[in-house]
Amino acid sequence: MIKNIISLTVFVLIFSIADAQSDLKFTKNYFESLNHTHDLDLPAWGPYSRRYAGISHIPDVKSGMRFDFFVAPGYWRNKVLIPSVRYESDYYPWNITSDYKEISYRYQLEWKDKVYSDVTYYSVDANTVLVKIETVNKTPNSQSLVMNLFANIEYLDNYSLYKIEDNEGETWYNALQYTHLGHKIKKLNDDLIYDGWLRDEMRSSQYLDGRAVGRNFGAFAGDSVTYDVQVTDEQKNGSVVFVYRVRPSKTATFKMTGLGKEQQLVFNGNGETQTLTVNYNLQQAGLKKIKLVSEGTSNIDLNGFLISSKPDATVKISEQQKYHQPEITEDEKNKTLLLKYADALPYYGIAWDADNFFIRQIQHDTLEFYFRDRVPDHLSKVVRGNYRGHFADVFIRPVSLKANTSNTMYALISSGSKAFVENSLNRLEELKQKAFAGIDNSFNGLLPGAEKYVFGQRLMKAVALGNIMYPIYTQNQFIKHFPPGKWWAMLYTWDAGFNAIGLNDINKKVAAEYINTYTTSDKSQSAFIHHGTPLPVQLYALQDLYNKTQSKELLEYFYPKLKKFYDFLTGKFEGSTVRTFKSDLLKTWDYFYNSGGWDDYPPQHYITGKPIRAYIAPISTTAHAIRAGKILRMMATQLNRTDDIKNYDKDIADFSKAILNNTWDKDAGYFSYMVHDKDGKALYFFRDSASGKNFNMGLDGAYPLLSGIVSESQKSVLLNKIFSPKHMWTDVGISVVDQSSPFYRNDGYWNGAVWMPHQWFMWKTMLDLNRPDLAYKIAQTGLDTWKKETDKSYHCYEHFQIETGRGAGWHQFGALSMPVVSWFNAYYKIGTITTGYEVMVNQTLFNKDFTSLKAKLSFDGATPAHERSMMIVMDPGTAY
């Protein structure tokens, strides 16, 4: 009888360190606090800007408003670097500590490190930031430079152009404050609303509050929406005023109940915002359930309604301004600037120690072109632009540097009451004498040979932590969020999962909260937060985090949430159309065009937008479902969820049979995309019509390796495909597309490139297959590729071109590039334990010298017992 056997790969360290184990303790109360938010518990001051690299302050997380401060160095009366996060602009995230107490950027005035400025933000306390600006001239020539200290306020993109005038005895309800909204004819996304918005939510500055109910709501008879409304004694005999839009010459009619007798509402349309007033009479005040049921005459954009104590009331709507320009108090003698923005509660202050300065205002909404265009205008106190924005600018000039010298100047930023800020600004001289630094042990306790990778890892860490934005909207709230890069001011489900995997080795608390961002409570309309490729990467991230923390509380909190995620992706959740084929092969085309994140993967790219797609299933969707079911089964075992275990066993058996009985193309040596008939019966392999070749010659065709379901002969064939230079192996890692296929090309996005995420999946799979040698080959190649590029360009790229080995795509990319963090820690960080997917690490205890480890492990009981590998980084002082 074959038993579960672990093959240990022990990496040794020539010294010991006491802080390699995490002190983090997750508690039940902590997770209860997460259940009502999707936000990250991070400081109010941080690198949150969606426009310019610097430091930002969130005055009120519910408001969506943000104060930005940033430095723009340049040459005197010449080139200036505006650190736009929207394109490559010569700034580089240089170092960010895990606690965000220290945030540093390098600005390259003359490449490479010949003339540069290092700008570092030190958080002194919750309201005070010290800014150190160190400028270095390593050339044989003198330099005449400048520094711009910019400050501005940012409003929401959908900040309403209109507002309701407050009147006594009136209560406004936005239409999205419903308790229930239902469709007579269910929509595909009713239970998985994109970006975690509310059902039928619309967001635009044209609406009051910037949001409304729309998206064809009311088009069908029976569409309904219900509100809980508190009616006061004064409002018992009053009126309700609806604010709405209906298309020209159309009329939307509804039945209204809950405010006295049933009434018909007739919303006549002209395409503009209108109001409809309806009187009512109630016997008693209190909580009322207002329900509107469509009669199906037309759809409507319902902005909201006003409950008034007056019959025949009207809504007084006026224009709402954005007050970009603050009240400014300049104190040139003391070198301070006090700013008070009308719509932000705190005062903001700036102090600086440079002597040559000029305070000015830029009355424009962007700086990228306009400010550089106005560089010759260095005398105007006010630079007048389009007046749609405002930047306060402390213009420090000139900053003269002789050859091979440097200059250090300081600034202080403060937020709070006027008295607090004024007092704080007087502390600049005191604070700049002190040493401030964030707490960070990321690069302590490393194996010999790790040193050469540390620079690239530090850049990756700075990019990962710096790629955080506010505000991002989801689930009726504004949150701080890590996008793949700052070009993407949005959610991204599978990218976010890899962000979490990297954060597991950087800041475990933030990692847990970021997994939480993409899961939903039982009260949510959505099974999970969906944007982009719907792969359950958050589940893989959770397993990795559990193995690092062994927190039972972590499992108890996330298990039901991620089970809901899984249930949707296996067709069990209400409304899911993933499992409609009789073959039991899964597809997610109804929710996104991309099955594996690989945008131009040949067969997927070919069928996008074509009717045939509805009849085709890829492999990776079902393969991931099998592995996800096995992981959840192990978690259910830990939590004694015996009924769930039985359900997973059935799923695993059904999905395994679906793949193995239908999709293996022996001639091609790959599992195939499968074409079905109109009844969902599997028919034949999907082939390229021109060449006759199986269209799935690539990583999707090898994904059943991850599931742990292939035969020995299939495993042998697929490993050869992945690691043969004739097929997928390259000098920079695994190609997504087989290089011998007629579909391979060198000018694609994924096709012709190497990306890190699917290599991470295969790396962990190699440990399950007891092939630590192949796991090492993947990881070491990835680390070497990363090192070579970061050393050369200082950029953290999306992917690497096979033809050249150079990085490409977005230059400050976290997310899918985060596996390099996992690989570095797995092979070089003391105290790190790494397994495949088939091992749960339930308890660990290192001794203080890291020469001994006691651990309790459990195994994937849904996969036949076999040998597996795991890796432990330990001290070399003992024979193991």
Please state at what angle helix 508-517 crosses helix 493-503, rounded to 10 degrees: 160
Compute the distance between CA of residue 16 and CA of residue 877 in angstroms, rounded to an integer. Answer: 9
With contact defined as beta carbons under 8 Å apart, do 596 and 618 qualify? yes
State whether residue 654 is helix, strand or coil.
helix
Range of the domain at 242: 162-319
Q: How far is CA 114 from CA 105, 140, 787, 856, in A?
A: 16, 10, 21, 53
Residues 127 and 189 occupy one common structural domain: no
- The pLDDT of residue 441: 75
Whether 803 is in a domain gets the answer no
- The pLDDT of residue 23: 56
Compute the distance between CA of residue 208 and CA of residue 5 in angstroms, rounded to an integer. Answer: 63
SS3 of 338-385: the string is EEECCCCCCEEEEEECCCCEEEEEEECCCCCCHHHHCCCCCCCCEEEC
With contact defined as beta carbons under 8 Å apart, do 618 and 604 qualify? yes
Segment holding 661, helix H or strand E: helix 642-662
Residues 137 and 173 occupy one common structural domain: no
Q: Is 837 exposed, middle or buried (0-12, 13-18, 19+ CB in 10 A)?
A: buried
- The pLDDT of residue 437: 72
Residues 235 and 315 occupy one common structural domain: yes
Whether 167 is in a domain gets the answer yes
Closest CA to 658 of 584, 709, 750: 584
SS3 of 715-749: the string is HHHHHHHHHCCCCCEECCEEECECCCCCCCCCCCC
- The pLDDT of residue 502: 99
- The pLDDT of residue 440: 77
Residues 239 and 358 occupy one common structural domain: no
> Could you write out the DSSP letters of every residue in 545-576?
HHHHH--HHHHHHHHHHHHHHHHHHTT-STT-
Q: What is the pLDDT of residues 139-164, one digit of tens each?
A: 999 999 999 999 999 999 999 999 99
Compute the distance between CA of residue 80 and CA of residue 150 in angstroms, rounded to an integer. Answer: 13
Compute the distance between CA of residue 869 and CA of residue 864 in angstroms, rounded to an integer. Answer: 15
- The pLDDT of residue 166: 83
Amino acid at 259: L
Q: How far is CA 670 from CA 544, 550, 709, 760, in A?
A: 29, 37, 14, 20
Residues 184 and 128 occupy one common structural domain: no
How would residue 25 be classed by pLDDT, with cut points 50, 70 and 90? confident
- The pLDDT of residue 78: 96
Q: Which token pair is 25?
A: 């303790």
Q: Which token pair is 409?
A: 């100047």
Q: What is the pLDDT of residues 615-650, one digit of tens each?
A: 999 999 999 999 999 999 999 999 999 999 999 999
Compute the distance between CA of residue 441 and CA of residue 21 in angstroms, rounded to an integer. Answer: 11
| CATH code for position 405 | 2.70.98.10
Compute the distance between CA of residue 608 and CA of residue 614 in angstroms, rounded to an integer. Answer: 10
Q: Residue 209, Cα to own-chain centre: how many angstroms?
A: 25
Compute the distance between CA of residue 429 and CA of residue 407 in angstroms, rounded to an integer. Answer: 17
Compute the distance between CA of residue 424 and CA of residue 433 in angstroms, rounded to an integer. Answer: 15
How would residue 10 be classed by pLDDT, with cut points 50, 70 and 90? low
Q: How far is CA 62 from CA 36, 69, 268, 455, 471, in A?
A: 14, 20, 35, 38, 9
Whether 467 is in a domain gets the answer no
How would residue 875 be classed by pLDDT, with cut points 50, 70 and 90? confident
Q: What rounded mean pLDDT belongs to the chain?
A: 96
How would residue 12 be classed by pLDDT, with cut points 50, 70 and 90? very low
pLDDT at 659 over 60: yes
Compute the distance between CA of residue 95 and CA of residue 309 in angstroms, rounded to an integer. Answer: 58
Whether 634 is in a domain gets the answer yes
How would residue 248 be classed by pLDDT, with cut points 50, 70 and 90? very high
Q: Which token pair is 670?
A: 């790959």
Report DSSP state, residue 612.
Answer: G
Last residue of a domain, one of 414, 431, 448: 431
Residues 697 and 644 occupy one common structural domain: yes
Residues 293 and 204 occupy one common structural domain: yes
Task: Determine the average pLDDT of the residues in 261-275.
Answer: 98
Residues 582 and 707 occupy one common structural domain: yes
Q: How far is CA 797 from CA 48, 460, 676, in A?
A: 21, 10, 39
Whether 743 is in a domain gets the answer yes
Q: Taking every pair of C-alpha atoms in the chain, what is the biggest distance, in angstroms? A: 88
- The pLDDT of residue 356: 96
With contact defined as beta carbons under 8 Å apart, do 462 and 94 qualify? yes
- The pLDDT of residue 555: 98
Please tell me the total count of domains within the chain: 3
Task: Determine the average pLDDT of the residues in 397-421.
Answer: 98
Q: What is the pLDDT of residues 523-578, one digit of tens each?
A: 999 999 999 999 999 999 999 999 999 999 999 999 999 999 999 999 999 999 99
pLDDT at 266 over 80: yes
Residues 670 and 687 occupy one common structural domain: yes
Residues 665 and 689 occupy one common structural domain: yes
pLDDT at 702 over 50: yes
How would residue 4 be classed by pLDDT, with cut points 50, 70 and 90? low
State whether residue 613 is helix, strand or coil.
helix
Sequence-ordered alpha helix ranges (H) in 518-551: 537-549
Q: How far is CA 189 from CA 196, 330, 385, 515, 574, in A?
A: 11, 53, 44, 22, 11
With contact defined as beta carbons under 8 Å apart, do 561 and 529 qualify? no
Compute the distance between CA of residue 363 and CA of residue 741 in angstroms, rounded to an integer. Answer: 56
Q: How far is CA 64 from CA 529, 531, 877, in A?
A: 20, 21, 54
Residues 637 and 690 occupy one common structural domain: yes
Report DSSP state, residue 165.
Answer: P
Rg (C-alpha) for the chain, rounded Å, is: 30
Q: What is the dihedral of CA 604, 607, 612, 616, to 10 degrees?
A: 0
Last residue of a domain, one of 412, 431, 450: 431
- The pLDDT of residue 29: 95
Compute the distance between CA of residue 704 and CA of residue 671 in angstroms, rounded to an integer. Answer: 8
With contact defined as beta carbons under 8 Å apart, do 655 and 622 qualify? yes
Half-sphere exposure of 427 (CA within 13 A, CB side): 18
Exposure string over 639-668, b if 16+ CB within 10 A, otherwise e: eebeebbebbeebbebbbebbbebbbbeeb
Q: What is the pTM of this model?
A: 0.96
Residues 74 and 185 occupy one common structural domain: no
- The pLDDT of residue 879: 75
Last residue of a domain, one of 380, 410, 431: 431
Whether 828 is in a domain gets the answer no
φ/ψ of residue 786, rounded to 5? -65, -45
| CATH code for position 212 | 2.60.120.260
pLDDT at 16 over 70: no
Amino acid at 240: V
Whether 27 is in a domain gets the answer no
- Describe the chain by its helix, strand, coil percentages, rounded to 5: 25, 30, 45
Q: Which residue has the tokens 């005035």?
A: 109
Q: Residue 189, Cα to own-chain centre: how many angstroms?
A: 21
With contact defined as beta carbons under 8 Å apart, do 636 and 566 qualify? no
Q: Which token pair is 229?
A: 């409304």
| CATH code for position 694 | 1.50.10.10
How would residue 407 be classed by pLDDT, with cut points 50, 70 and 90? very high
pLDDT at 591 over 80: yes
pLDDT at 705 over 90: yes
State whether residue 253 is helix, strand or coil.
strand
With contact defined as beta carbons under 8 Å apart, do 816 and 755 qualify? yes
Question: In this structure, how many other beta carbons lie within 10 angstroms of the beta carbon of residue 360?
Answer: 18
Whether 840 is in a domain gets the answer no
Q: What is the pLDDT of residues 721-759, one digit of tens each?
A: 999 999 999 999 999 999 999 999 999 999 999 999 999
Q: How far is CA 149 from CA 132, 336, 401, 524, 752, in A?
A: 12, 12, 19, 43, 43
Compute the distance between CA of residue 318 and CA of residue 165 in angstroms, rounded to an integer. Answer: 7
Compute the distance between CA of residue 834 and CA of residue 821 in angstroms, rounded to an integer. Answer: 13
With contact defined as beta carbons under 8 Å apart, do 496 and 815 qualify? yes
Compute the distance between CA of residue 367 and CA of residue 730 in angstroms, rounded to an integer. Answer: 43
Q: Is 377 exposed, middle or buried (0-12, 13-18, 19+ CB in 10 A)?
A: exposed
